Amino acid sequence: MNLREALVSLNDPRYQNRRYPLWGVVALVLVAFLCRVDSLRGVARFAQANPFLYKPLGLRKAPGRTAIAQLIRRLDPQALSSALQQVFPELSLPASFPTPTSTLVADGKVLRGSAKGESPVVRVVELWCEEARHSLTQAQVNRREDEALLGLLERMGLESLAGRVVAADAGFLYPQVAEAIRAKGRITC
């Protein structure tokens, strides 16, 4: 399966304004990020500076930052992850990962450039495996970061944290988070 086939399989979350094909915009973002672009505004500038990419990506012209941001914000991250793993299976983690002794790091982030203009700030929580130097999963924060972290731990199926070190900054040291991690067999640090 190639990248276009995988991205075409994604459900388009836009109800209207489908001027730019979903797969083309997502592929543009991926190409721009591979070229070390680090913001959605940068992706729009990258597209304008590289018009030779329009035709291969199914674009008639460069999408603006707002069009890119609205699409990315509405995309289902799990569906996108599954589609990309079909194209790049070598990036997939083995079924036994993380190992029973993996160090897990929880961190909250505000996506850079997400609060530009009228767009709301996008906050995410990430669960990182230090041993593999790989992000295991991310979730958007709707209310509080501690609730998002608890949801990530449940979604990851980490029934037992025995033998693992779970590191998090002070923002995650709410009593209910510490209790949930302790209940799974580990202490936080």
CB-based contacts of 152, cutoff 8 Å, min separation 6 = 106, 125, 127, 137, 138, 139
Query: Which pairs from 161-166 meet CB under 8 Å and 24+ separation?
Result: 161/104, 161/185, 161/186, 162/100, 162/186, 163/100, 163/101, 164/98, 164/100, 164/101, 164/102, 164/103, 164/104, 165/103, 165/104, 165/189, 166/103, 166/104, 166/105, 166/106
Amino acid identity for residue 107 in this structure: D
Contact criterion met (CB below 8 Å) for 166 and 140: no
Q: What is the pLDDT at residue 45?
A: 93
pLDDT for 28: 92
In this predicted structure, the answer to whether residue 182 has a pLDDT above a threshold of 80 is: no
Query: Quick one: how far is CA 106 from the chain centroid?
Result: 14
Q: Which residue has the higher pLDDT, 174 or 159?
A: 174
| Res 189 pLDDT > 50 | no
- Taking the C-alpha atoms of residue 68 and residue 66, their distance in angstroms, rounded to an integer, is 5
Q: Which residues pair with 108 in a beta bridge?
A: 125
Quote the tokens at residue 31.
């190409």
Higher per-residue confidence, 98 vs 53? 53
Q: Which residue has the higher pLDDT, 50 or 111?
A: 50
The tens digit of pLDDT for each residue in 92-114 reads: 554 545 565 667 777 777 776 66
CA 85 to chain centre: 13
Residue 188 is classified by DSSP as B
Q: In whole numbers, what is the pLDDT of the chain averaged over residues?
A: 77
Q: What percent of the chain has pLDDT over 70?
A: 72
Distance of CA 147 to the CA centre of its chain: 17
pLDDT digits (tens, 9 = 90+) for 113-147: 666 666 667 777 777 776 666 677 777 777 777 77
